[in-house]
Structure 1
């Protein structure tokens, strides 16, 4: 498994005098640099470019409750306890016929008296097989040579809700179901389906199909994991067609007729596999309405009208094409699988336990982090004035990432709001923080003088540098900032002041202005100023 992340802030906002809408982090990678975007022909894809977005997981107690509430898991646990002190089985570890019906009754799949439906027995035996696979039930031979089943050693811990045992058990079950789902898809009937005539080539084809199905399912789970990480609460459900399109259509392209056919094929292939995983609580899945295929056949035969003009279906109609949502248990599983493969799969709030310096440096130095959520996690429960003081102290510095730290500090101050005023008032005369502090206070409605000219110019360079560092590959954001510079009718005078600003990024900022400004006269003066700033740095 691999993941991808765009490192886009949740609610980008200004800091240090920047404009609203500016982003927060430097790593807005193209999908071509991330998982799955280059296709299977690119064998030189560097795993170091793979980014897995951070997710928020509920407490272990909630995950445990969700795992034990999964019917198949609940059934397996009940059957394991039912074997106490022991229960006879055959040489294969299967229940005898009479006990199979008793198991179905125990699980509530059949009435206490009367005939037991075959479907109920089949479901009970699925739960029994899972209990054996998970070692909730152990089978063996007694001293008398009889085959018997007994409860497994972890059953007590499972029933007591031990988080590590329960979640480990559920994860094993999810892994089994994940393998079975891919295997079942690879065995879908094709041609005459005569397995007796299958030769070695046929078996090889089945294995190849199984691997392809497993790869498709893994890719779908990865995309769902990322989409869930970036989704707003309550917006995690994904139409199956959207999921399939993300797997088929290269980023930035519109699907052509061939791709539309591939999307349909992927939807049809994924639908039953996702349904299998939904049984373990890994997903919430609404399958494709089978009547759609009948309607399609009727339309082709001319006996039913197609949607006039190709009109977009409403929400209810669109849902008939299938939907899927990765549950918190599903996020937990995919994250565990990614970490097993050596990928860094962080949780939101991983940086919240440290101090403000650790927080700000961690955000600026980590490619796969959601800044707004990490800041909110750090601020949660902290006293506003003390938190603001700590953040402002951590924002100081002249190192390469210091402008981004000051931008992040500004975002955190916006989150804190009015309660942070006393701490901000303390730094209004600080040469590095004063300009942004005064701007923040004025936005809060505090009457305070504007910063002195040198501080204002330094803050302008610092704010521009922060955007420059966080907009890698996005010239549009920089053009907006360049266009908003307060250049007067005398650009030589303005840039004559700006190039003298003692900031580590003065020259780079002027070079970008010279490259992107649409007014040739302004761009020329900016380039001259950049040359002077470079000379001053030497």
Structure 2
């Protein structure tokens, strides 16, 4: 997005408003220009057309902007003001202005409905609307008068053992580079400027000679942590300075807690992108509360919403301390600037970038929890599922919404405490008569066990719900197993698809992609309506809405109708 033309347009709008005596909602007009530039390829004021307003107000705003339906009149008013400004400044002609006004008149009654339509919400808006728009209000965390999600109780988190965290901290790029910078400066007898900053030549040399990625930032951290001090301009190692590898775990964790505090509290250019640097705490807090990867586009939307909220608060209550400057965070876009900033953030070691988006590293999660505790907030740690029984393990895997790597660690830790026979016996006994999702998780874990569990699994052949799973388990290992009847094949197919229902609801596109490759054939789907399974209707409706193959999708919808007609629920 071209920030320059938007800033020039806003400056011109202010001047025009003063000269004409027109009250201008500058913040709302800026958002119109920002989104037009980001998504509709508007590169200057003269690019606005009647259709631009239609797309902005009925497509982009409902998809991107967290705003209640009752806010629509303010946006409509700002759009009309923008039209008059475009006309008076010669950016558009009279006929175009008339069509724009007519378009906005048509949009006016439709916009509140569009803002309220959750089916129009984009990915980012859905995420942050779930958190709640009040989380953008500028209230001190933990305020007794605040009940917004930003001050709501923190979720319980799963933390690896302290020894694993300490080992990961020793590999954190920024903290490791802070030690390298100090060693390089002291060994070389280098000095700093009178303001304790790295000299330009030294920054260049330490980057080349010691492979330090961001020398200035690493040096700032070293000073903040007391790894070094400056005697006039001479660099001296801090008291007891030692490499990370030579430090005890407790000492390493103390340094890491200080690093997290430095990153989210100190006014430093961590990434070089003001929109990210000014909201380091907000971004980390978001990742901590969601406990899930957040795509970069969603991060950009979050920063924009924060900036818009602060700008609104500044307009209503006067300037907000620490708020963004003109042309700051509100103008962040995902055109490469944000990606570069997030890559810089990953260098700190608190976050990692995955295929699914940005998420906290385990050491980042640990460090942020330490900060919350120092702030006096209750930052609970979830119980160790490996210490509980099979019911507790399954319940925790279902309810906690754990990242895949954390869930994997829990399952492995639970299994290592038991023999295969014990694990199978506990898991299968815990899910007798349970819903499909619970049974499916147990069966999935049992599927990891070796042939030592065969006697326990074979004993489940008399259980109508577990029999198809047990038979499949035995035959997959080349052991003697009964041949499943057609009815049993149908039942186990429905049962395993029922396990996927929560995941399909959370990620319908991902489910549709997977089921297109591994879904049941049409001739099997056609008979599923006969299955006496409590989830058969929901499973068939899911297939009917997800399968890309028209014949299979039609067969699923037809089978769902038949199942409903039978009264199966």
Q: TM-score, normalised by structure 1?
A: 0.49
Q: TM-score, normalised by structure 2?
A: 0.47
Greater share of residues in helix: 2
